Structure 1
């Protein structure tokens, strides 16, 4: 069997299936069959590292950690667009164009304006080379590792493409994926994300690309730029991009005149709510590249393109009451209960009021007629009160002073927007929320135990904290509502299995305020065990990479609390993992102490992961990108030309894997 051909054929087949699923939305095999083929390819690549290819579909799963995103100057500046809000604005824009071009017939490409995070991706010889955020338009951040995890972005192009060009697109988070992410947060008592755009943008700057890979991000292409591209118009470029493997939305339309542009705008102003992602307008571009070149740019924007912004949909309805929710951290969230009303294709009954300041600013009162808007938000918000409709003798809204659940007096710290219930260990929603967080998928991942069951266990007096889970018996659980023998056994077994969860996830599960997944990993890696962490001083914690004073103080406060100390000792006795289980390398040394290495290319003596592990085993650090702080670049075959050029410019020594092996011998 020719292994190299087998690997290549698998890659091509999986790339085609990815394209069918994520670009064409027409899968031809099941997810299970795809996963089997991907696992087969991963195993073959592991056995034969000499055939490594950065464009392989196996490289989409993430794993690279980027601590500092390198700033990169755009080869072609990323301009912003002028906005228009009426058809009169578009007529004025056309007059300005005709002053430059004369009375020539004009065609326009109409495209939906996607509400996401702009990205510029460079392709060299059909391979994805680099992805950079928009930044200030002149330079942005290198987020290549994160972009590679987005499955609608091709790693290897197909067909007849130019040797080098940039694509411009918008990274978006479709509604369905956004709502699923928020539902998972709500279930564990966390604050949901406010809107898809900010969440998509924030995802690009996550340090762990594995976390980015878990998010259902998508990329919609809208422009190609480069030298001597093989087409003459914007519309042709979109069609070519689709043929090469890009997701260029088919809603784009060629318009012969402004009347057809207006028809496109009118249609999508109504039908945009049926789309699976957020749009906030239409981008109109002069179709001819020759005309674009003649028109040129202003200081900020292309003269040949303009954005028409849709008006955010608003409705008026009655505010019936205001209720207050308590999160697992004790944060109080006021919620407006509304007379049900249709908005942007859904029935809205509730809207967020955010905090006391927002209620006071808008002077919102029960009985008011309020204006509700979705705009870029998934969660509706109240934007104004119709004072002309206000009933006589309504009373101002006074924010509650005591917790609606346990009646404890609320506190509001200086600089905080929210009020909090300080009854951390006696307020039912906080207790239930903490346990729900502890059992959640990204924390202890306890099978057989869901959020509703946690509330059931608490309300029946079986658990008061997450340590109590380890004392549950089948006999205690069986009498509960909806509990049968099998489900009770699954729950107890799931709790027992959670004792094998690694320390960094246990640390996240404890629910220390401000300690999310990434911070928990950093603290676990630095301190190795819970005892070293809880003995750390404020200054010790602040000195840990990327741990600020707010996080450090929160960690100190958590471990100073006597109840937390008791819970941790109980968890220890039950066998929960409170230290990192490290694989001991008998050949480890400190020969590379204080040295930072960047690994690039394909190797024969090591796999890339083995090489990185060898660097760390001998006291060195692995950098994700070349900078002035890099001490050595370990170069294999096919090292990227950009990295080579940068290493030479910075006079950084470039060594082979044989040189490296001698260095640690």
Structure 2
């Protein structure tokens, strides 16, 4: 009598369960149940059945790891629980200090139970399971926001698509590390080399590059492995009492945990684990750069809490930085976006920490002189983790007779312009500005970057291609591009070109502070750009402003003010700005200067600024200058008193004479007159009334949920332009909460505290009422 053949659905279910069980034995327990050939036969049988019955294919089938169609870009993911960084210990003594702090804070005299685990040198990821099924994978990103790489993590065989067991948690967010083992890395590089493609520098780079492939089918071909090390969220079952208990639960759910992890009681056990694994480091099949220790009990973790963005209950004990000897063959001078010249050591290639190093930083010409490094020297190269390798010293006793001294070049190696030293005598810069090829290229990349003009699709490679093809010479040329020119470039096409044109058009109505930051003015960061935009109100006022007015902008010192004034004094910079405006750039701003800023432009303030810039006012302090300014109010009144030789301000005898000497020196009288003239012009345009015209000054607002018509950062930027402070949590002092879709605990807390809540429609209407427009959709 023959046995009845199972129905396709039953056989598929049986094969799927069997293969998942074998994967659990292989990856999680490190105890293979069957030979690879047996696994392969069952896998092929499942494939055959699913091809015949596609309606029976499920998302958690072992066959669904081959990757999907390529993405255009990764979506942004905001972590429900931030992925925090760890504090570091670089010596045994620093670890002893950590253990002592833990015991003192917990008021425990005996040894603490810890969990010690290798610090894997890969890419941190978050996996979210709902009712046992993998629904999302994300990179760490900046800890708050990462990238959605679900399609890619699904291809990793050690990542279960469905958790093991009949009653998995309703929600589990597990954190872990994706690494590439040495054996897989070497095989991958052999394949890359045979195919004539780029080889990877180290396993970490290979793992990171594989996980960030827009085509998950490529990721599926890469030998990646996942190790879980913590849980961020758990719902549907009780939390274990300890971190070690949580790791055991993860193993039961078929999540792989590193086999080297060990429970340790007390400091000496931690040190023993550290030195043991440091000695075995080279024999492991994956890279580690230290050990992580965590207090085992979760209630103690909660008691210890956090400092800044790192937990007090955990620390990373880093391995010693690695050094090697090699020969300095030459020095190249690289020119950065701001024209700064950086010396780069060209080395005889040497392995440092598992990475081949042929270039290393020498910092600057003064550091070269301090270390007495010469071309031909045997030097010590230092590399720690992902830190850029650097030359730390030379060995003079090995110096050859023909060793050559290193000198700063007289001309820019890129454009041939003159090289000048900055006021601090350390930084050397090319004076070529926008005509220098190195600066031009980097200036365009900075202009297009996310925090500047945020021109989507205009990445570094496309900028290089546009410059190389002669389509773009400076940032204004971006707005003269035609879709057909861009479409012909490598890796582009009509759709990509059209999208770029739309992005360029949309960027024309960018906030003024972003435009100022995008121009790449030396020493001007995002906060200084905001301050300039808030104070002057529009681009034209900033362009016309003399140096003395820039000194009155909050938090702008002498060197920064000089950099701003110098930028706008350059004809080629002014031409680029004119070209940008002619191309349709419309910087969005308040349109009027700040009343608070204008009121600060007193004669006394201008005199103090002139003194800081070198106006000879020997013996006159700021208080005396302020007193003279308050009394005479205008430069004409002050000059009239100087002419008469009569001072009725009540200042000490001789004060007016000293001031007169300063005004006669160089062109200070003309410079002060110009500054006063511009200040008066600003005052005419500033809103009436005292203080600051910003209506939300002193108020604290909170943003929560998802906004559909502008990003969280854009909403924050607009509130700040009205004077508000944007906080991350709701309290009794919160003035108002803006709630978008899927608003959560912050909205609930606002209701409990009676804080006013505004939905997105009302928020948009509120902004429009204050003359603030939304970004182009």
Give me the TM-score of the superposition, normalised by structure 2: 0.47
Q: 1:153 aligns with which of 156, 159, 162?
A: 159
Q: What is the CA distance between 1:208 and its match in structure 2?
A: 1.0
1:371 aligns with 2:371: no
Q: What is the CA distance between 1:90 and its match in structure 2?
A: 2.1
For 1:308-319, what aligned pairs fall within 5 Å after superposition? 308-317=317-326
Equivalent residues of 1:352, 1:382 under 8 A apart: no
**Relative to structure 1, is the Cα distance of residues 257 and 193 closer, same or farther in structure 2, using a 3 angstrom cutoff?**
same
| Alignment correspondent of 2:423 | none
The separation in 2 between residues aligned to 1:356 and 1:97, in whole angstroms, is 40
Secondary structure, aligned partner of 2:136: strand
1:206 aligns with 2:213: yes
Secondary structure, aligned partner of 2:138: strand
In structure 1, the gaps of 5 or more residues are 323-332, 399-412, 418-512, 516-535, 551-625, 630-643, 651-665
Secondary structure, aligned partner of 2:309: coil
Equivalent residues of 1:162, 1:229 under 8 A apart: no
Q: What is the CA distance between 1:168 and its match in structure 2?
A: 0.5
1:162 aligns with 2:169: yes
1:297 aligns with 2:300: no
The separation in 1 between residues aligned to 2:351 and 2:392, in whole angstroms, is 18
The separation in 2 between residues aligned to 1:209 and 1:334, in whole angstroms, is 38
| Alignment correspondent of 2:93 | 88
The separation in 1 between residues aligned to 2:494 and 2:9, in whole angstroms, is 44
The separation in 2 between residues aligned to 1:95 and 1:385, in whole angstroms, is 36
Give the number of equivalent residue pairs. Answer: 418
Q: What is the CA distance between 1:384 and its match in structure 2?
A: 4.3
Q: 1:51 aligns with which of 43, 50, 56?
A: 56
Task: Tell me the alpha carbon deviations over residues 532-580 of structure 1, each in whole angstroms, 9 at most, x when there is no partner.
Answer: xxxx942334664556999xxxxxxxxxxxxxxxxxxxxxxxxxxxxxx
Task: Tell me the alpha carbon deviations over residues 336-385 of structure 1, each in whole angstroms, 9 at most, x when there is no partner.
Answer: 557xx9976x8x9x75238999999979867532335665489x977445
Equivalent residues of 1:335, 1:351 under 8 A apart: no
Equivalent residues of 1:368, 1:389 under 8 A apart: no
Equivalent residues of 1:351, 1:382 under 8 A apart: no
Q: What is the CA distance between 1:273 and its match in structure 2?
A: 1.4
Secondary structure, aligned partner of 2:146: strand
The separation in 2 between residues aligned to 1:342 and 1:64, in whole angstroms, is 38
Q: What is the CA distance between 1:169 and its match in structure 2?
A: 0.1
Equivalent residues of 1:127, 1:156 under 8 A apart: yes
| Alignment correspondent of 1:71 | 76
| Alignment correspondent of 1:133 | 139
| Alignment correspondent of 1:217 | 224
**Relative to structure 1, is the Cα distance of residues 197 and 47 closer, same or farther in structure 2, using a 3 angstrom cutoff?**
same
1:111 aligns with 2:123: no
**Relative to structure 1, is the Cα distance of residues 274 and 162 closer, same or farther in structure 2, using a 3 angstrom cutoff?**
same
Q: What is the CA distance between 1:135 and its match in structure 2?
A: 1.9
The separation in 2 between residues aligned to 1:179 and 1:382, in whole angstroms, is 26
1:235 aligns with 2:244: yes
The separation in 2 between residues aligned to 1:256 and 1:313, in whole angstroms, is 30
Q: What is the CA distance between 1:215 and its match in structure 2?
A: 0.9
The separation in 1 between residues aligned to 2:8 and 2:99, in whole angstroms, is 59
In structure 2, the gaps of 5 or more residues are 1-5, 331-343, 407-435, 441-459, 463-482, 501-705, 710-740, 744-758, 761-777
1:124 aligns with 2:139: no
1:4 aligns with 2:27: no
| Alignment correspondent of 1:539 | 486
Q: What is the CA distance between 1:176 and its match in structure 2?
A: 2.3
The separation in 2 between residues aligned to 1:359 and 1:174, in whole angstroms, is 40
The separation in 2 between residues aligned to 1:142 and 1:281, in whole angstroms, is 28
Q: What is the CA distance between 1:14 and its match in structure 2?
A: 1.8
1:393 aligns with 2:340: no
| Alignment correspondent of 2:184 | 177
Q: What is the CA distance between 1:387 and its match in structure 2?
A: 4.0
The separation in 1 between residues aligned to 2:156 and 2:204, in whole angstroms, is 16
| Alignment correspondent of 1:283 | 292
The separation in 2 between residues aligned to 1:114 and 1:154, in whole angstroms, is 20
The separation in 1 between residues aligned to 2:495 and 2:124, in whole angstroms, is 29
The separation in 2 between residues aligned to 1:88 and 1:171, in whole angstroms, is 31
**Relative to structure 1, is the Cα distance of residues 102 and 334 closer, same or farther in structure 2, using a 3 angstrom cutoff?**
closer
Give me the TM-score of the superposition, normalised by structure 1: 0.55
The separation in 2 between residues aligned to 1:375 and 1:195, in whole angstroms, is 14
For 1:440-451, what aligned pairs fall within 5 Å after superposition? none
Q: What is the CA distance between 1:86 and its match in structure 2?
A: 1.6
1:17 aligns with 2:22: yes
The separation in 2 between residues aligned to 1:138 and 1:514, in whole angstroms, is 27
